[in-house]
Structure 1
Amino acid sequence: RVCFRTFSSSDESDPIKALRRLHELCSLWLRPDLHTKEEMVDRLGLEQFVMCMPPDIQVLVKS
């Protein structure tokens, strides 16, 4: 997840390689081979929800 979120296209000079790398990182994070589409959407939704919350609430949700 961290690698996916911190990926920068400046790390790759070729846009096609950058897209492939981003796709690879996303697959490593979400693991579509192990999780259903619904589980992956839930994971993305929860992460976005937590990021929208104030820091003190983020700590509560993460624990």
Structure 2
Amino acid sequence: MNWDIIQGKWKQLKGSVKEKWGELTDDEIDQIDGNKDKLAGKLQEKYGWAKDKADAEIDEYFRDRG
């Protein structure tokens, strides 16, 4: 899915993002606001992943949403 579309639909996607990555708080999800880099950073912080792992997880998850 295109990240412009994700940003536009972020309010609708927040629940599924929270379900997928439950370590993220509601406030963090609000702060991410559809920004892929912010989401990757938070996943790195919460799950201890390297940037490439976080990016791969994000790409895989949102590929199925399109």
Question: Shared topology, TM-score over 0.5?
Answer: no
Q: TM-score, normalised by structure 1?
A: 0.38
Task: Point out the structure with max Rg over C-alpha.
Answer: 1
Q: Which has the higher contact order (CA 8 A, sep 6+)?
A: 2
